[in-house]
Amino acid sequence: MVFSSVIFLFQFLPILLFLYYFARDRYRNLVLLLASLIFYAWGEPKNIFLMLLSVFVNYWIGIFLNKFRRQDKLFLTIGVVYNLGILYVFKYLNFSVDTLNRVTGASIQVPAIALPIGISFFTFQIMSYVIDVYRKQVEVQKNILDLALYISLFPQLIAGPIVRYVDVKNQIGQRETSWEKFHMGVIRFAIGFSKKVLIADQLSPMVDTVFAGKYPSIWGHWVGILAYTLQIYFDFSGYSDMAIGMGKMFGFDFLENFNYPYISKSIKEFWRRWHISLSTWFRDYLYIPLGGSRKGKARTYMNLLIVFFLTGLWHGASFNFIVWGLFYAVFLIIERLGFEKILKRLPALIQHVYSLLVIMIGWVFFRADNLGAAVDFIKGMFVPYGKDIAYLNMTLNSQYVFFLMMGILFSVPYTGLMERINASKVGRVLYELFVLLTFILAIIYMVGSGYSPFLYFRF
């Protein structure tokens, strides 16, 4: 089940809201838990048992960590090994065996293992709970149903943001629901829904066509990667907006996951604005424990390589994602070596151009089917060939021009304008009317189109 579907928008969500708000306070968590399990099991019923097993195992690991402090390192190790082991088996085992077979010429056979939706997200969430209990940053959760709710809460279960237990522990037990908060949630959900359906989904056919190699020209390649750069941002940030919005409808406050990443003036800044929940997770649970930047330059660079190697691998069992992660690590190291100081002396426009160029080239590795295709695509972005003029109209018709322009227009903040709108009751009403009309238009597009899952579902 996806948020941008008729069954979710007109059946699941309204029924759940009705049951939730008419239930007594002490039963609301149970309502949300059951609804979240139904949501997850809707498309893959058998995988619900894997998630419930993880909840059960990590619940007892937390209990043992708290009770037997002298052996806490042992129980932490068991918890980390178990969680990463489950992730490895379901996400990386086939990739590892295939790679080993290609390198050694062996013919080891393992059954094909289907990837459970959202396993990377809920595994990292439950690991944050275990680690924070070990660090004594949170108290152990003794109610297994509340822990299960934290792990399975449907708004952010499938594609984030990665919600850490420390950020919602108090809200699980007691949270505020009000009309004002519900209203804010509806607006945020509508914005995210519109971003997904009206921009990301509309750019998808162009992206698929260009990456399939149907328009072999410099023009076609640049248009294609621009479209994908906008598509993945509006798809993923749209999901995060919907998750944050629905969280508010049920009284939760989730942290932001995006902060207009394409206005960045460096790659370092980009990673402070893109997928913030993942970046901070790796920072707090891997980069800093490895020593961060406190143990000399060489160690810092090695830590960056490790973190971004694993960041790439976290996104998928493919050499494309590994190269994508290391690609960013290289530029982060280059900036730390002194290029960041040079950048700051350059005009802001040059800083933006540099950042966007690196980001767009990086997205080629993320989107291409394999490394060879990625290299060929990047080559096609810079080496003249094909008939640019002949492909012009085929690549970029008026419809795609419109959605590209809308994507560019809404990928930057309008802080001053929003402050003036919020300062005026009339301005606020007009803004919300615009959001409502856009939401209705998005629903019309959704009803008229087919199934369109979020890009991050595969992670």
Q: Which helix (H) or strand (E) holds 434?
A: helix 425-448
**Pick from 324, 326, 354: nearest CA to 340:** 354
183, 221, 275, 315: which one is catalytic?
A: 315
CB 173 within 8 Å of CB 222: no
CB 329 within 8 Å of CB 308: yes
Distance CA 367, CA 320 (A): 8
Q: Which two tokens stand for residue 85?
A: 């082991």
Burial class (CB in 10 A: 0-12, 13-18, 19+), 397: exposed
Q: How far apart are the first and last CA of the chain?
A: 16
Burial class (CB in 10 A: 0-12, 13-18, 19+), 293: middle
Helices 218-249 and 388-395: crossing angle in degrees, nearest 10, is: 20
Distance CA 269, CA 261 (A): 8
- The reply to whether 315 belongs to the active site is yes
Distance CA 446, CA 448 (A): 5
Neighbouring C-alpha atoms within 13 Å toward the C-beta of 428: 8
Q: Which helix (H) or strand (E) holds 438?
A: helix 425-448
Distance CA 431, CA 423 (A): 12
CB 370 within 8 Å of CB 324: no
Cα–Cα distances in angstroms (integers) from residue 24 to residues 18, 27, 29, 31, 36, in the given order: 12, 5, 10, 10, 18
Distance CA 444, CA 264 (A): 34
**Catalytic positions, please?**
315
